[in-house]
Structures are given as C-alpha cells and as structure tokens.
Amino acid sequence: MDSALQELRHQVLQAHSASTPLRLRGAGTKDFYGERCEGTLLDMRGYFGVVDYEPSELVITARCGTSLSELEGLLAQHRQFLAFEPPAFGGDPTIGGVIAAGLSGPRRFQAGAARDFVLGAVLLCAQGELLHFGGKVIKNVAGFDLSRLLCGSLGILGAITEVSLKVLPLPRLEQTLQFEMAASEALALFNRWAGQPLPISATAWYDGHAWLRLSGAPPALRTACERLGGELLDAEAASRFWRSLRDQTHPFFGHASTLWRLSLPSTAPQIAGSGSQLIEWGGALRWCASDQPAADMRQRAGAAGGTALHWRGGTAGGRFHSLSPVVLEIHRRLKSRFDPHGIFNPGRLIADL
C-alpha cells in the first residue's frame, strides 16, 4: 500500500480505537462551509496523483489529495473538463474536498451537479478498510449507490481516498449575452427559455442585469443568439464573469451582511426580505445578502418549496436547513453504522452527528 495511504489508515485506526475525533481537511478552501467541528487534523493532501485517465472513456480517476488545478490542467490538454464547474473559492482545492463538499458552479443549471458526475469512490472507513463503490464506467447499478452518497457527505461517513469522475468534452464555443431587466422579469424569462431547445449552459441575474451563457456547436449558438437578442459580451470579460460567480470572487459575495444560499424551485416567486440578491441556475439558486432573522429566512424558503442555507457571515448558529425526523433518523443510523465511535468530522454536516 502507498505510504501516504498507509499513514492515513494508521491515523484513522488510532482515532477509532481511542474514539478521538478527526477533522478531515484538504486544502481548506471550504473551512467556512458547514457547521464547526473539532478534532485532530487529518490532512488528506499527502495522498495525491491522477491514477487513470483515458480521454476516450470520458473518465478520470484521481486520489483525494490531487489538486483541482492539476486535474483540470490535464483535462484541458485533451479538451475535456469537469462540467459541474466546482468552485475553487480563490484557492486550489483537492478533488477529495470537492467531492466531499459536493458543490457545483454555474453550469449545474445545464450539466448537472457534482454528484451526477461521480462514478466511483474509495472510502477509508472507521475500521481501516478501503471500500470500493461504483467504478470507472458510466453505467453501473451493482449495489447501492454509495459513491454518490459520499458526494456532499462532508466526510462524516469516512475519508474519501479516491474518486472516479465522468468528464465531458469542452464546448466548441461559448458566448455570453447580457440583458437589462428586473429580477422578476429575469426569473420568468429564465424559466421560459429553459423550456425551449436552446444551448443555455448558465444564467445569472444581479443588480438589474441578466446574463446567459450559451455553449455548444457554432451553428447552434448563431441561431440562439439571433433568437435571444441581448448584447454579446467580449469573450475574456465573459469568462472572468462566470469564473467570479463560480469562485465567489464577484463583488456581491464581499457584501457585509449575512449571506444566505436559497435552493428553490426555479419558478418560485421572489422571496420577501431577501435583501440584495444574486440569482443563478435559472432561478433555482438565490444568494441573498440579508440580515433577516434566520427563522424567517428558513420559513420563507420552506414555504416556497425549498431550503435556506446560512452560507457565510453573521452570527454562528445552525447552518443547514433542518431535516425531517424520518430523514434525520436514517442519518443517525447510517452514521452509527459507518462511524460507530463518531471519529469522522463530528457535527460538520449535522449538529451532534
């Protein structure tokens, strides 16, 4: 066994036998995300490297500590990419952290979320075993889909040591159109356009402006631009703009207030009291800089058929939207079976789990 992996395994076994909590961490770009958790640092960066990449298979397999920049650099050489556009938050995350957090960028609107691209994962479990789930092929229904369960698990079930991800060819062309309009008008249009066969790969609205990114074959983009109107943005500026949304370096995210992340049905009307707003994913993701009481934000998001996540800033407190009792009970049972001594990131995803 690789010595870095052996070291990780050793630390996990020790923590398990002593019942002492571990805090799993890659590059720390998402330290802000989720609930606070205490524990001995388990640094996942030491186990790195791309294990397998065959461009014609559309699959890449990498160890958890591999940096996103290395992985994306390699894919770009073959004109491929991670279509869920994982945010780097201005740093260089590890791929293990990307999958454990399960966050996706602007293209989630069209291409799907991180979990949709997970094909397989290796889990270092509390008892020190390496469990292989899923695999390196696109279609695989053997056994429960645990590799996708790990995506977004924030490390509470064990340490993800390796992942296999589906990759896609880079779009041949991308163009961004900018429009002037109010938020309510943008929400209506985003939903209308999404119901038409248009090559829209991302949408955004902020401060009286709407943006549409089109991706695909040149002829398809030509037709779409004619149909949609708007002002064509310079390619450089457009790419900087989408990158700033993906990594949250856009000025909106520097706002002083508490930042809420509302995940709503795309057709949900404007949420009252949502403060300054940035809208993504065709209306399904709404970032709200608002000092409204947390209970109100959650109640309003819930009433609209969604959930509110306390993303950044403001006073500490529950970050995530609460779970129904049935769902919470299943979480408890899963946690107690996979991590009976509670060593993996206790409380990071759900308080007291």
Partner 1 sequence: MLLPEFDIDESRWSGVAEAPAPGRQLAVAQALRALLPADCVLSRDEELHPYECDGLAVFRQQPMLVVLPRTETEVRAVLLACRRLEVPVVARGAGTGLSGGAMPHAAGVVLSLARFDRILQIDPAARIARVQPGVRNLAVSEAAAAYGLFYAPDPSSQIACTIGGNVAENSGGVHCLKYGLTLHNVLGLRGCTIDGEPIELGGCALDAPGLDLLALSIGSEGLLLVVTEVILKLLPKPELAQVVMASFDDVGKAGEAVAAIIAAGIIPSGLEMMDRKATAAVEPFVRAGYDLAAEAILLAESDGTPDEVADEVRAMERVLQANGATAIAVSASEAERLRFWSGRKNAFPAAGRISPDYYCMDGTIPRNRLGHMLKAIERMEHKYGLKCMNVFHAGDGNLHPLILFDANRSGEWERADRFGADILELCVQLGGTITGEHGVGVEKLNSMCVQFSPAERAAFFSVKRAFDPPGLLNPGKCIPTLARCAEYGRMHVRHGQLPHPDLPRF
For residue 87, the tally of other CB atoms under 10 A from its CB is 23
Q: Which of residues 42-61 bind partner 1 (CB under 8 A)?
A: 54-59
For residue 57, the tally of other CB atoms under 10 A from its CB is 14
Is residue 122 within 8 A of residue 162, CB to CB? The reply is yes
For residue 339, the tally of other CB atoms under 10 A from its CB is 23
> Which one of residues 13, 74, 170, 225 is an interface residue with partner 1 (CB under 8 A)?
170
When asked if residue 168 is in the footprint of partner 1 (CB under 8 A), the reply is yes
SS3 string, 223-235, reads HHHHHHCCEECCH
CB of residue 144 to partner 1, shortest distance in Å: 5
CB of residue 64 to partner 1, shortest distance in Å: 16
| Residue span binding partner 1 (CB under 8 A) among the ranges 20-28, 66-74, 109-117, 289-297 | 109-117
Sheet with 285-289: list strands edge to edge. 231-232, 173-180, 209-216, 200-206, 276-280, 285-289, 259-263, 307-312
CB of residue 307 to partner 1, shortest distance in Å: 6
Q: Which of residues 3-42 bind partner 1 (CB under 8 A)?
A: none
When asked if residue 314 is in the footprint of partner 1 (CB under 8 A), the reply is no
| Number of residues that make up the chain | 353
When asked if residue 228 is in the footprint of partner 1 (CB under 8 A), the reply is no
> Which one of residues 90, 219, 254, 273 is an interface residue with partner 1 (CB under 8 A)?
219
Size of the site for partner 1 (CB under 8 A): 90
Q: Which of residues 77-106 bind partner 1 (CB under 8 A)?
A: 79, 102
| Residue span binding partner 1 (CB under 8 A) among the ranges 22-30, 178-186, 220-228, 246-254 | 220-228
When asked if residue 307 is in the footprint of partner 1 (CB under 8 A), the reply is yes
Q: Which is nearer to partner 1, 63 or 108 (CB)?
A: 108
Q: Which of residues 115-144 bind partner 1 (CB under 8 A)?
A: 115-116, 125-127, 129-133, 135-144
CB of residue 320 to partner 1, shortest distance in Å: 4
| Residue span binding partner 1 (CB under 8 A) among the ranges 36-44, 69-77, 236-244, 329-337 | 329-337
Residue 158 to residue 242: CA distance in whole angstroms: 33
Structure tokens at 52: 């397998």
Q: Which of residues 234-273 bind partner 1 (CB under 8 A)?
A: 263-267
> Which one of residues 152, 230, 275, 313 is an interface residue with partner 1 (CB under 8 A)?
152
Residue 143 to residue 152: CA distance in whole angstroms: 20
| Residue span binding partner 1 (CB under 8 A) among the ranges 88-96, 178-186, 202-210, 218-226 | 218-226
Is residue 287 within 8 A of residue 206, CB to CB? The reply is no
Q: Which is nearer to partner 1, 217 or 235 (CB)?
A: 217
Angular region, 342: left φ>0, alpha ψ -120 to 50, beta rest? left
Residue 9 to residue 26: CA distance in whole angstroms: 16
Torsion on CA atoms 298, 299, 305, 307, rounded to nearest 10:
10
CB of residue 130 to partner 1, shortest distance in Å: 6
Q: Which of residues 178-217 bind partner 1 (CB under 8 A)?
A: 191-192, 194-199, 216-217
Residue 324 CB partners (closer than 8 Å, separation 6+): none
Query: Which residues does residue 285 pair with via DSSP β-bridges, in sequence order?
Result: 263, 280
